[in-house]
C-alpha cells in the first residue's frame, strides 16, 4: 500500500501512544499526524490535507462532531474521509449524529485491532482506487482536449485556406471581368467597320463571352464562398424568400465588403443599377441605411 497521511485527533496521550504504535507496526508507510483537540485537528487538516482522519468524539476546545461539521463545510477538506472513534456502544442516535455530520464510518473503543485495520485499509484502498480513477479520467480528458485542439487547429487551417481561396477567387473574378471588358470594348470598336450582319455577329460574340465567363466564374465563386460563409445563402433565403439570383450574389459581394464600383465591374452593371438593387433589398428586409443593411448581412 502506498504511503498516505492519517490524522489522529484524540486528547488522551495514552490512547494516542497505543494507536500510533499499532498503526506504525501494521503499516510503516503510514505518515501519522497528531492533534489533541478538534480545533487543532481542523487546522492541521487544512494545512496538510491528510488522506484519512481518525476523530475522537469527546475532546476539549471542540468535540469530534463539531470538527467534522467544520471540515465538511470547507471546500479544501470536505472530501477527506473521517472515521469516528467512540466509546459509545448503544446510543444509536449519537452514532447517527456523527454520520449525519459527515463521518464515513465509526469504530468503538477499546479497539479490536483486526476490525480497526480492516476499516482503515478499506478506506485507504478506496482513496487510492478513486485517485487512480481520477488520474485516468484526467488522462482521458487530456487526450480528448489534445484531440479537440488538433481538430480545432485543422479546422482553423481549413478556414484560413478557404478564406485565402475565396479572396484569390474574388481577385481573379475582378481581373477576368476587367479583361473581358477590355476585350468586348475592342470587339465593339469593330462595329463601325462592319455591315448589319457583321454587327449581329459581334453582338453575339460579346454575349457568348459574357455568358460563358459568368457561368464559370459564378460557380467557382459560390463554391468558395459557401466554404467560408457556411449556410449564408440558406439563412438569406429564409429572411428574403423572394430574393433573385442577382440579388443573392449582390448580398455575397456586400458580405465581402466589396465596393459598388467593384461589384459593378464584376456583374457588368452600372453603379447606379447596383445602388437601385441595394435599395430594393433594404426595402425587402425593412432597413433604411447601408449600415443597417450591412449589419443584417453580417448577422447571417
CATH of the domain at 57: 3.40.50.2300
Residues 213 and 90 in one domain: no
> Which of the four pLDDT bands, split at 50, 70 and 90, describes residue 183?
confident
Gap between the Cα atoms of 214 and 226, Å rounded: 18
- Please tell me the predicted confidence (pLDDT) of residue 55: 92
Alpha carbons 178 and 268: distance in angstroms, whole number = 10
Q: Could you tell me if residue 118 is inside a domain?
A: no
Mean pLDDT of the chain: 79
In a domain, 142, yes or no: no
Report yes or no on 121 lying in a domain: no
Residue 122 has pLDDT above 90, yes or no: no
Residue 56 within any structural domain of the chain = yes
State the pLDDT confidence band at 6, using cuts at 50, 70 and 90. very high
Query: Are 290 and 178 contained in the same domain?
Result: yes
User: What is residue 171's predicted lDDT score, i.e. its pLDDT?
Assistant: 56
Question: Which DSSP state fits 35?
Answer: E
Are 288 and 153 contained in the same domain?
A: yes
Same domain, 21 and 105: yes
Strand partners, 32: 6
20 neighbors 34 (Cβ within 8 angstroms) = yes
**Where is the domain boundary, 82, 111, 140?**
111
Domain boundary among 111, 132, 164: 111
Q: What is the pLDDT of residue 159?
A: 57
Same domain for 175 and 55?
no
Q: Are residues 256 and 182 in the same domain?
A: yes
Tell which of 111, 140, 170 closes a domain.
Answer: 111
Query: Residue 74 falls within a domain, yes or no?
Result: yes
Whether a cis peptide bond, with omega within 30° of 0, leads into 210 is no
Q: Are residues 82 and 185 in the same domain?
A: no
pLDDT greater than 70 at residue 211: no
Q: Which residues of 108-129 are buried (b: 16+ CB within 10 A; e: fewer)?
A: ebeeeeeebeebbeebbeebee
105 lies in the same domain as 186: no
Mark whether 159 and 285 lie in a shared domain.
yes
Residue 104 lies in a domain: yes
In a domain? residue 136: no
With cut-offs at 50, 70 and 90, classify the pLDDT of residue 169: low
Domains held by the chain: number:
2
Phi, psi at residue 271, to the nearest 5°? -65, -35
Sign of the C-alpha dihedral computed for residues 92, 98, 103 and 106 taken in this order: negative
Report pTM: 0.47
Spatial CA neighbour of 110 closest among 92, 83, 90, 85: 85
**Residue 263 structural domain:** 148-298
Does 36 map to a domain? yes
Residues 247 and 180 in one domain: yes
Amino acid at each position: 500500500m502506498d504511503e498516505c497521511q492519517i490524522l489522529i485527533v484524540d486528547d488522551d496521550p495514552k490512547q494516542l501512544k497505543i494507536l500510533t504504535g499499532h498503526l506504525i507496526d501494521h503499516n510503516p508507510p503510514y505518515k501519522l499526524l497528531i492533534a489533541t483537540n478538534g480545533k487543532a485537528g481542523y487546522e492541521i487538516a487544512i494545512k496538510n490535507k491528510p488522506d484519512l482522519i481518525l476523530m475522537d468524539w469527546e475532546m476539549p476546545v471542540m468535540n469530534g462532531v463539531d470538527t467534522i461539521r467544520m471540515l465538511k463545510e470547507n471546500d479544501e477538506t470536505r472530501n477527506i474521509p473521517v472515521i469516528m472513534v467512540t466509546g459509545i456502544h448503544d446510543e444509536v442516535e449519537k452514532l447517527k449524529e456523527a454520520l449525519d455530520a459527515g463521518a464515513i464510518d465509526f469504530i468503538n473503543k477499546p479497539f479490536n485491532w483486526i476490525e480497526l485495520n480492516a476499516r482503515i485499509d478499506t478506506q485507504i484502498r478506496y482513496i487510492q482506487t478513486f485517485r487512480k480513477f481520477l488520474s485516468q479520467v484526467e488522462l482521458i480528458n487530456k487526450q480528448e482536449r489534445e484531440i479537440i485542439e488538433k481538430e480545432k487547429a485543422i479546422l482553423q487551417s481549413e478556414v484560413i485556406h478557404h478564406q485565402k481561396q475565396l479572396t484569390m477567387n474574388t481577385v481573379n473574378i475582378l481581373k477576368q471581368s476587367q479583361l473581358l471588358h477590355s476585350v468586348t470594348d475592342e470587339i465593339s470598336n469593330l462595329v463601325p467597320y462592319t455591315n448589319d450582319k457583321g454587327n449581329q455577329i459581334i453582338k453575339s460574340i460579346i454575349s457568348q463571352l459574357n455568358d460563358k465567363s459568368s457561368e464559370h466564374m459564378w460557380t467557382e465563386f459560390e463554391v468558395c464562398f459557401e466554404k467560408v460563409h457556411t449556410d449564408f445563402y440558406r439563412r438569406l433565403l429564409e429572411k428574403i424568400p423572394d430574393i433573385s439570383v442577382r440579388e443573392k450574389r449582390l448580398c455575397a459581394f456586400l458580405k465581402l465588403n466589396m465596393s459598388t464600383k467593384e461589384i459593378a465591374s464584376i456583374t457588368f452593371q452600372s453603379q447606379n443599377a447596383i445602388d437601385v438593387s441595394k435599395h430594393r433589398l433594404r426595402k425587402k428586409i425593412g432597413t433604411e441605411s447601408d449600415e443597417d443593411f450591412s449589419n443584417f448581412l453580417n448577422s447571417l
